[in-house]
Structure 1
Amino acid sequence: MKTMNYVKICMLCVFTLLLTACGKDDNDNSMDARLCRTWIEEYTEDNITYTHQLIFTQAGYSGQELKKKYDHTTSTANTETRDFTWKWKDSSMECLVLSYGAGEIKYLENVWIREHYLNGKLGGEWIMMTDANYMK
């Protein structure tokens, strides 16, 4: 009888652990979770490679924008990095407000996040970015 109770308790513990394993971290498909990663766009034009990177984190709803320009003819690079905080403009989750501080704000409008792609209009320019981990 005591063995049967012990088995029931063990089975209950295993079942409880299995339920918690399917929690937010493993299966979170919210817009925040889908957004919070490193996005990158890279192209070459006239022997210059342009890299644009956006990093979104849920911790403090912060992020970083990196723009890099590499001139292949002179082997010179110019990099600009800026920190920002972000929030959704409203509950439709189609527009992000990026605040760079000192009153400077950019909008990422028409946000469309697919499995490995982020599209939208950032500060008036259309962007199509790829998940940096997907590119490896």
Structure 2
Amino acid sequence: VPTTTTGGQSLRYIRDKFSKLEMVLERDLDMSVYYMFDIMAESIKPGSEGLIVLPFLMGERSPIWDINARGVFLGLSLMYSKAHIVRATMEGVAFALYDNFRIIKQSGKKINFPIILNEGGAKSRIWRRIITDV
């Protein structure tokens, strides 16, 4: 079954470490930080203008099976905003899931089951769209 170790936790990391202002606004505006992330991600074109995230914050299970794999921001520069980082993280998780599906297809097996997303990330319309577009 295709999975990734730190899908939703990747955005939780951004929230907890880099989003203090959004956390205050969450209380004041009664709007979740994750909804704010969705708005940010929607403001950036697919491909995040070249910013790439490998979302391996706690190692990775399939398909690389490496507990020592670590997250990476490729191409990070001063031109990128938090919105770029959020969208690139969503895209990185989507491509991590895609790697699993790619291996299943290469093995000759047919993928005829629906993609099931669970927990908090499943609430994000933009993240669901990114995953299905990949």
TM-score bin (small chain):
under 0.3
**TM-score normalised by structure 1 residue count:** 0.25
Rg (Cα) greater in structure: 1
Structure with the largest fraction of strand: 1
**TM-score normalised by structure 2 residue count:** 0.25
Structure with the largest fraction of helix: 2
